[in-house]
Amino acid sequence: MLSDQSACRFCKQYPGAIFTAATPEHIAELAAAKQCAVYKKGQDIFQEGAHPYGIYIINTGKVKLSHSGDEGREQIIRLVKPGDMIGYKALISNEPYTATATVLEESAVCFIPREVFLQVLQKDTALSLHMMQIVTNELRRAEVKITHLAQKPVRERLAETLLTLKETYGLEADDQTINVTLSREEIANLVGTATESAIRLLSEFRKEKVIDLSGKKIRILQLQKLIHMANLQD
């Protein structure tokens, strides 16, 4: 982590949609307490099992939240984009982090200390309600993911994962290439399958001309067909 006051130049997203429910006075209080840092690719913002000391808001860059499963295998549980907040569930519940936050590309991150955030949360009922909605929405997404892991074939889950990557990080200038670089192992961890299976299925998608592959870059050639393959009627 590179602590740098100049990193505040990245704070154009702050306070973003997360704190729009708060009063101007409380927004100012949070802004005055924030600290900024730049993390390099591969660095951890926090680690599973550690005690939370505050919340983090991603201003630029990309981050993955992963859980260590059986035999130390990584399971990616959430992808984070600019404007998103992380670390709040452990902070509110006063429990250790249940996931590790790892930077996928250089990221500028805001940190708000635990005491300040909780004090504002206690004083601002609108913000408290908004935080409840954020937690509830994440719980709903987790329930959907668990259901899909249990019921959907791997092929459908891979198609859905590629669509999720597109929705989360958008497309590059060609309007086809997904704007994130992930290893085949990371894609497999998102899908919930073996790396070999992910590689085989990506090759099948390519042969069917649904996607194209260039190193770690994935280009969507037939979006509607990919949506159909993901079986997203519900």
Boundary (domain end) residue, out of 91, 120, 149 = 149
Q: Is residue 106 scored above 90 in pLDDT? A: yes
Boundary (domain end) residue, out of 130, 149, 168 = 149
For residue 45, the model assigns a pLDDT of 97
**154-169 and 223-230 helices cross at what angle (nearest 10)?**
130
Boundary (domain end) residue, out of 114, 133, 149 = 149
Residues 186 and 200 in one domain: yes
CA distances from 95 to 92, 112, 127 (A): 8, 17, 21
Q: Is residue 16 scored above 60 in pLDDT? A: no
222: nearest Cα among 201, 232, 207: 207
Q: Which residue has the tokens 């200390």?
A: 113
Per-residue confidence at 200, pLDDT binned at 50, 70, 90?
Answer: very high
Residues 36 and 123 in one domain: yes
Q: Is residue 6 scored above 70 in pLDDT? A: no
For residue 28, the model assigns a pLDDT of 87
Residues 166 and 138 in one domain: no
Q: What is the pLDDT of residues 108-148, one digit of tens each?
A: 999 999 999 999 999 999 999 888 888 888 888 888 877 77
Q: Please write down the HEC assignment for all residues of 63-85.
A: EEEEEECHHHCEEEEEEECCCCE
Per-residue confidence at 175, pLDDT binned at 50, 70, 90?
Answer: very high
For residue 12, the model assigns a pLDDT of 54
Residues 9 and 117 in one domain: yes
Runs of H (alpha helix) within the chain: 24-33, 88-93, 114-123, 125-151, 154-169, 184-191, 195-207, 223-230
Q: What is the pLDDT of residues 55-96, one digit of tens each?
A: 999 999 999 999 987 777 888 999 999 989 999 999 999 999
Residues 128 and 96 in one domain: yes
- Give the mean pLDDT of the chain: 88
For residue 13, the model assigns a pLDDT of 52
Q: What is the CATH number of the domain that holds 211?
A: 1.10.10.10
Task: Find the mean pLDDT for residues 181-195.
Answer: 94
CA angle 202, 203, 207 (to 5 degrees): 120
Helix, strand or coil, per DSSP, at residue 14: coil
Rounded Cα–Cα distance for residues 226 and 19 (Å): 35
Which residues, 6+ apart, have CB-to-CB distance to 86 below 8 Å?
45, 55, 56, 57, 58, 63, 65, 80, 101
Burial class from Cβ neighbours inside 10 Å (0-12, 13-18, 19+) for residue 122 reads: exposed
Q: What is the pLDDT of residues 205-216, one digit of tens each?
A: 999 999 999 999
Rounded Cα–Cα distance for residues 48 and 91 (Å): 13
Residues 36 and 115 in one domain: yes
Residues 204 and 225 in one domain: yes
85: nearest Cα among 19, 171, 3, 11: 19
Q: What is the number of domains present in the chain?
A: 2
Residue span of the structural domain in which 157 resides: 153-230
Residue 99, Cβ neighbours under 10 Å: how many?
22
Residues 106 and 189 in one domain: no
Percent of the chain with pLDDT over 70: 92
For residue 7, the model assigns a pLDDT of 45
Q: DSSP assignment, residue 50?
A: P
Helix, strand or coil, per DSSP, at residue 193: coil
124, 23 contact by CB (below 8 A): yes
pTM of the model: 0.86
